[in-house]
A = this chain, B = another copy of it.
Amino acid sequence: MAVGLGPLPEFYPVAGLRLGIARAGIKKPGRRDLVLLALEEGARVAGIFTRNQFCAAPVLVTRDHLSKASPRFLMINTGNANAGNGEKGMVDAQACCSALAELAGIQPEQILPFSTGVIGEPLPVEKIRSGLPEALDNLSEVNWTEAAQGIMTTDTLPKGATRMLDLEGHAIHISGISKGAGMIRPNMATMLGFIATDAAIEPGLLQELVSELGEKSFNRITIDGDTSTNDACMLIATGKSEAPQITRDSGHLPAFRDALREIFMTLAHAIVRDGEGATKFIGIRVEQAGNTQEALDVAYTIAHSPLVKTALFASDPNWGRILAAVGRAGVPDLDLTAIEIDLGDVALVRNGGRAADYTEARGQGVMNQSDITIRVALGRGEIAETVWTCDLSHDYVTINAEYRT
């Protein structure tokens, strides 16, 4: 089903980070469902998290632990989101941290837990505990591919990206994995991203980078408008590279940020390309907005319109639906005659109506492609924002109407 999603890359190892994978039988026997990311001492971790007020227990625990101690492990289970479980969810998440802490000889606060899977069923703590020794046994710097597979739920393909940079003759590596395909099949929740580099990063800058790059990538994608209770995107810097530390004033920062941005974008777009039932990958770029909020309001109104999404599925250049979505996006005092809408390189709307040189054949030519850009210019200012989404197909309904069995 995935749209233009290639195979995993050959991941560059990230010095100071080892990955361990276990088959803990959390939901089904025999599949990889427990992943550990073990960090050497001195590694720094920053993250961004779901804005859903019903945060899952592991999100609350991870935020708390991040504020208290230097992380040594990220512990990710699939098959159960440990969300909607009230106080018991907190106790269970803590129990898993304690079990790993004991085995590894560290403090529970040095462990960041992540869960993805069914909402509202108790976390199978005993299964996770039993799987930990296997995951610890096979910790290795070269396990990125297995980890990308180990964090999947209903994803049809694993997702990863990797880059190498040369800084004054020293290599810096960045590798990342992500998962998610909509808020997902009956309660199989969560978008997760884990990106790691062996670069040394100035304290504070790491959080700035994950906030800035995550905002423009993971926070600009939408499958169906639903926000999972478990979303998290974590950026890890082990500092084991010989390259000089990257600081806010560093001449190397622009190149590093560009490489990191590519990783974030690739991982975020991969989630959309693997969106539930997706047959098309859609970029919606809103230009000439007066401010960021109105740019995003217009972009998301288009991206979430079931009418626009079904038209995209049908390869129907139905510009009236896009126009109507712009009109109801809540932007005050919109000048309708100033608005331009393009589909790929074809002008759809000019001066409040269909563009004079528009023909169905030209619109159809763009619609038949699998990667499509919709451009909307509001004629109000200088701000531009892009969001990415996919179409709404029969398979989306089938996937989401299936039973939780």
Contacts and interface: CB of A to CB of B under 8 A. Distances in A.
Contacts of A323: 54, 84, 119-120, 229
A216 interface: no
Contacts of A344: none
Interface stretch (A101-109, A144-152, A310-318): A310-318
Nearest to A354: B120
Contacts of A51: 328
B328 A226 contact: yes
Contacts of A229: 323-324, 327
B52 A319 contact: no
B352 A84 contact: yes
A207 interface: no
Interface in A286-337: 304-307, 310-311, 313-314, 316, 318-321, 323-328, 331, 334, 336-337
Contacts of A324: 52, 54, 83, 119, 183, 189, 226-229
Interface string A336-366: 1100000000000101111000000000000
Contact of A225 (B120, B227, B304, B316): B304
A402 B318 CA distance: 11
B120 A320 contact: yes
A186 to B, nearest CB: 5
A29 B301 CA distance: 36
A189 B327 CA distance: 14
- What is the copy number of this chain in the assembly? 2
Contacts of A316: 186, 401, 403-404
A54 B186 contact: no
A171 B88 CA distance: 63
Nearest to A182: B307
Interface stretch (A244-252, A255-263, A389-397): A389-397
Contacts of A86: 337, 351-353
B186 A306 contact: no
A373 interface: no
Nearest to A403: B316
Contact of A320 (B83, B306, B320): B83
A398 interface: yes
A226 B307 contact: yes
A201 B88 CA distance: 60
A85 interface: yes
A67 interface: no
Interface in A361-405: 392-394, 396-398, 400-404
Contacts of A352: 54, 84, 86-87
A187 interface: yes
A404 B363 CA distance: 14
Contact of A311 (B314, B320, B401): B401
A151 to B, nearest CB: 20
Contact of A120 (B52, B119, B319, B400): B319
Given A83-B320, A324-B183, A324-B227, A392 B403 contact: no
Given A54-B323, A187-B320, 9 more contacts: A53-B327, A53-B336, A54-B324, A84-B349, A84-B352, A119-B321, A120-B323, A227-B327, A306-B392
Interface of A: 51-55, 83-89, 118-120, 182-183, 186-187, 189, 224-229, 304-307, 310-311, 313-314, 316, 318-321, 323-328, 331, 334, 336-337, 349, 351-354, 392-394, 396-398, 400-404
16 contacts: A53-B331, A54-B336, A83-B324, A84-B319, A86-B351, A86-B353, A88-B353, A186-B311, A224-B306, A226-B328, A227-B324, A307-B400, A311-B400, A318-B404, A393-B397, A397-B397
Closest 9 CB pairs of A and B: A119-B320, A54-B327, A86-B353, A314-B401, A310-B400, A227-B328, A224-B306, A52-B327, A53-B327
